[in-house]
Amino acid sequence: MHEILIQHIKEQVPLKESELNLIKDAFKPVTLGKKQFLLQKGEYSNHMRFIVKGCLKLFNIDESGKEHILQFGIQGWWMNDLYAYLTGKPATYFMQAITDSVVLQIHRDRLDVLFNEIHMMDRFFRIKTQHGYVALQERTIHAMSLSAEERYFDFRKRYRTMEQQIPQYMIASYLGITPEHLSTIRKNIGHSLS
């Protein structure tokens, strides 16, 4: 199970053979059943988390009870309430498994030790944070400037494999539209293809 994580890290930074066991020992597996929470609003987010198997969502619930999905995560992705993790404040988001999932996580204190033991890990997380920031900016500008249809086409283009694992009402929430609107968009796509 740690091989997926090791390969993912090695795609960004070089690792010595002696460092592999340190990484494997530091990341602990967590198995989640469908709909099980990994993090709930108000809890402290003290772990960095890497998805080995399955699909998760990071979301908020507004005062009216409506769910707003910020992020999906699948195998090979990192997922966290990063604001809560970095500030040490209680989480403002929920993290929940959409399917049966396995996550490898490392506690912040152990990660700090790992940064000292393996200097390339510090560089790795800097690269991942930069990529995450760029992705967040792209998502924000798309939400402000693209139509619902364009946002859906962009979602399909970027996350084709993920789309098959996620219920349509969750994709609608992620796109900021109603499930009915998404159904209409999909129906129009079907008519234009036939």
- 70 in a domain, yes or no? yes
Residue 138 is encoded by which pair of tokens? Answer: 């792209």
45: domain CATH number?
2.60.120.10
Contacts (Cβ under 8 Å, ≥6 apart) of 98? 34, 35, 54, 55, 56, 57, 72, 165, 166, 167, 170
- 39 in a domain, yes or no? yes
**pLDDT band per the 50, 70, 90 thresholds, residue 139:** confident
- 105 in a domain, yes or no? yes
The arithmetic mean of pLDDT across residues 15-21, rounded, is: 93
Cα distance between residue 142 and residue 150, in whole Å:
9
The arithmetic mean of pLDDT across residues 139-148, rounded, is: 86
- 154 in a domain, yes or no? no
The arithmetic mean of pLDDT across residues 147-165, rounded, is: 86
Q: Residues of the chain with pLDDT > 70: what percent? A: 97
Backbone angles phi, psi at 98, to 5 degrees: -85, -35
Number of domains in the chain: 1
The boundaries of the domain holding residue 95 are 2-116
- 110 in a domain, yes or no? yes
- 102 in a domain, yes or no? yes
Quote the pLDDT of residue 165.
82
pLDDT at 131 over 60: yes
Coil, strand, or helix at residue 151?
Answer: helix
- 148 in a domain, yes or no? no
- 125 in a domain, yes or no? no
CA distances from 161 to 64, 123, 157 (A): 32, 29, 10
Q: What is the pTM of this model?
A: 0.87
Quote the pLDDT of residue 192.
61
44-92 pLDDT, tens digit per residue, is 999 999 999 999 999 999 999 999 999 999 999 999 999 999 999 999 9
